[in-house]
Amino acid sequence: MNSIQITALVIILLYMMATVAIGLIVSKMKQSKEAKQSNDDFLMASKSLGPVVLAGTLFAANTGGASTTGIATNVYTYGLSACWYVIAAGVGFVLVSFIAPYFRKAQANTVPEIISKRYGKASHIFTAFTSIAALFMATGAQIIATASIINVVTGLSFQTAAIITTAVVIVYTMVGGFKSVTAANLMHVIFITVGMTIAMFIMVNNKEVGGFGALFEKAGQVSAGLEGGVDLMSMTKIGIPTVIGYIAMYFMTFPTGQEIVQTYCSAKNGKAAMTGSLIAGILSAVYAIVPAIIGLLAYTCIDGYALGGAQKNALAEATIRFAPSIVAGLVLAAIVAATMSSASGNMIGTATMFTNDIFTPYINKGKKDDQKEVWISRVTMVIVGLVGLFVALTASNVISVMMGAFALRSAGPFAAFICGIFYKDVTQRAGFISIVTGTIVAAVWIYVLNTPWGLSAMVPGGIAAFIVIFLVSAMERKNGVPAAPAIEFEEE
């Protein structure tokens, strides 16, 4: 390794150590305050998050491998328009802010639990299993992103880097629970936003690049010399259908994604949930261009790099090449921050769903046992990490993995969730049939039809689910079937 790689590696290792230390410190502080930690305390941060901490946790949970290394990689395919993936997330947070208070007031901890309040046991179990499967895939995507950074910096094999990444995330997540994750996320957000943005300006002004004007001019020249219609500077190449699909995907997946819903449910009140969501949306939209510019640097200013096509290490390669050693370390640590925070959020979310929606009601026969549930939660986190590691070792494209995970977990439950809150005449059977229908349509759209027009499977799956839930509810109500029991919301 050269001096830049060594310095970058030291900073990344120090960052990982700091993250684990935060988990240990928060865990010890919690234990000193209370002799016995409840599972709600461990997984839900005692439902005490204010808007700023909540916004940071939302942003960090969503800004993972796809939003950093994934965007930089896709600059080859879509040009700068690759950043629409994260801009759409910002729009999604703003749209969801209007229903965010309902999560906190629903007196529930998980998406399947909210679904079960109107649609019963069958919908509860189906939603729990599809949501858990999706988080396995999402965890794998974050491990891919982190391991690719370590691979570039150290020369370690991708497989070895993936194992190291998995071990670190498991340790710091299972030691401190959600409070340690939210505490670490404040550090993650600073590294991701401030650190990467400052580094981007330093890299662009490197003498080998010559500033934004020179970068953009050379990007045009490189694009002209490549075959296949490559346009590295395009802000529209990704296409309107894909952008609409991204926005629909986020608007549908945030209310049905456990790692996001769990954060909303951990707010101290509905107002904090709404404000935090708005802040996270604005932050995401502003940040989106940063990883795209760094990806542009790789394909434009590294000789011959674009000839190799889309490359998953584009962000790391540009950083090592054009940033001073300390800055490179900070940028790569920021990426590690993004991916680790997302992976830990996925682990917490899966553990919460398994204990709340499978273990306690069906395995433990409805009996609450906090000590046993905390233990089960920690075991679940280890399993999620190991399954995520398997996904990472067998897949490669971060955004493709994430898109599949989002669609399979959200295309079905979204219609049921919205109708569960706002449609008084919805029936239990209609909810279950719509959840299954939306999921099947999304799976066929991805794995049989190969995502036509680049449109997210969330769109056709969601449309099918809404049509089914309204039609079946209308038919059943006409035949005298009673509406599903309404969700009782907590007064604030």
Give the model's pLDDT for residue 296. Answer: 96
Find the angle CA(148)-CA(154)-CA(158) to the nearest 5 degrees.
35
pLDDT tens string 344-363: 778 887 888 888 888 888 88
Judge whether 111 and 260 are in contact, CB under 8 Å: no
More confident: 113 or 237:
237
The answer on 415 and 401 residing in a single domain is no
More confident: 181 or 429:
429
The answer on 419 and 396 residing in a single domain is no
Arithmetic mean of pLDDT, 325-334? 82
The first and second tokens of residue 246, run together, are: 């991204």
Exposed e or buried b for every residue in 236-255, given b needs 16+ CB within 10 A? Answer: ebbeeebbebbbbbbbbbbb
Give the model's pLDDT for residue 403. Answer: 77
Give the domain CATH number at 49: 1.20.1730.10
Exposed e or buried b for every residue in 213-232, given b needs 16+ CB within 10 A? Answer: eebbebbeebbeeeeeebbb
Number of neighbouring beta carbons within 10 Å of residue 68? 32
- Give a yes or no: residue 259 inside a domain: yes
The answer on 174 and 315 residing in a single domain is yes
Task: Give the alpha-carbon dihedral of 254, 258, 263, 267, to 10 degrees.
Answer: 100
- Give a yes or no: residue 406 inside a domain: yes
**What is d(CA 467, CA 470) in angstroms, rounded to the nearest whole number?**
6
CA nearest neighbour of 187 among 292, 59, 24: 59
Give the model's pLDDT for residue 44. Answer: 44
The answer on 318 and 428 residing in a single domain is no
| Residue 185: pLDDT band with limits 50, 70, 90 | low
Find the angle CA(480)-CA(483)-CA(487) to the nearest 5 degrees.
170
Give the model's pLDDT for residue 43. Answer: 44
Place of tokens 């604030």: 492
The answer on 185 and 291 residing in a single domain is yes
| Residue 42: pLDDT band with limits 50, 70, 90 | very low
The answer on 370 and 445 residing in a single domain is no
CA nearest neighbour of 29 among 177, 186, 189: 177
- Give a yes or no: residue 490 inside a domain: no
**What is d(CA 73, CA 63) in angstroms, rounded to the nearest whole number?**
15
Arithmetic mean of pLDDT, 163-178? 77
Which pTM value belongs to this model?
Answer: 0.76
Domain with 393 in it: 3-410
The answer on 405 and 420 residing in a single domain is no
Task: Give the alpha-carbon dihedral of 239, 241, 242, 245, to 10 degrees.
Answer: 160
- Give a yes or no: residue 257 inside a domain: yes
Which range in 9-23, 59-73, 407-421 is most confidently predicted, on average pLDDT? 407-421
- Give a yes or no: residue 94 inside a domain: yes
- Give a yes or no: residue 492 inside a domain: no
Give the model's pLDDT for residue 442. Answer: 93
Where among 368, 391, 410 does a domain terminate?
410
Number of neighbouring beta carbons within 10 Å of residue 480? 6
Give the model's pLDDT for residue 142. Answer: 82
Percent of the chain surpassing pLDDT 90: 34
Where among 410, 440, 461 does a domain terminate?
410
Arithmetic mean of pLDDT, 441-452? 91
What angle do helix axes 258-265 and 325-353 make, rounded to 10 degrees? 80
The first and second tokens of residue 37, run together, are: 């930690």
Exposure of 178 in the CB half-sphere (CA atoms within 13 A) = 36
- Give a yes or no: residue 128 inside a domain: yes
- Give a yes or no: residue 491 inside a domain: no
**What is d(CA 19, CA 187) in angstroms, rounded to the nearest whole number?**
9
Residues 6+ away with beta carbon under 8 Å from 250: 88, 89, 91, 92, 93, 96
| Whether the predicted pLDDT of 492 surpasses 60 | no
CA nearest neighbour of 7 among 291, 314, 319, 337: 319
Arithmetic mean of pLDDT, 331-356? 79
Domains contained in the chain, number? 2
| Whether the predicted pLDDT of 69 surpasses 80 | yes
Query: Hey, CA dihedral for 232, 294, 393, 140, is it positive or negative?
Result: negative
The answer on 242 and 145 residing in a single domain is yes
The answer on 298 and 314 residing in a single domain is yes
Find the length of the chain: 492
Residues 6+ away with beta carbon under 8 Å from 432: 119, 120, 122, 123, 126
**What is d(CA 53, CA 51) in angstroms, rounded to the nearest whole number?**
6
The answer on 379 and 336 residing in a single domain is yes
| Whether the predicted pLDDT of 119 surpasses 50 | yes
The answer on 420 and 328 residing in a single domain is no
**What is d(CA 16, CA 93) in angstroms, rounded to the nearest whole number?**
28
CA distances from 440 to 116, 292, 360, 453 (A): 20, 33, 28, 19
Give the model's pLDDT for residue 183. Answer: 62
Which range in 126-140, 143-157, 425-439 is most confidently predicted, on average pLDDT? 425-439
Where among 380, 410, 440 does a domain terminate?
410
pLDDT tens string 252-310: 888 887 778 878 877 888 888 899 999 999 999 999 999 999 999 999 999 989 998 88
State the average pLDDT for the chain: 84
The answer on 423 and 448 residing in a single domain is yes
Give the model's pLDDT for residue 48. Answer: 62
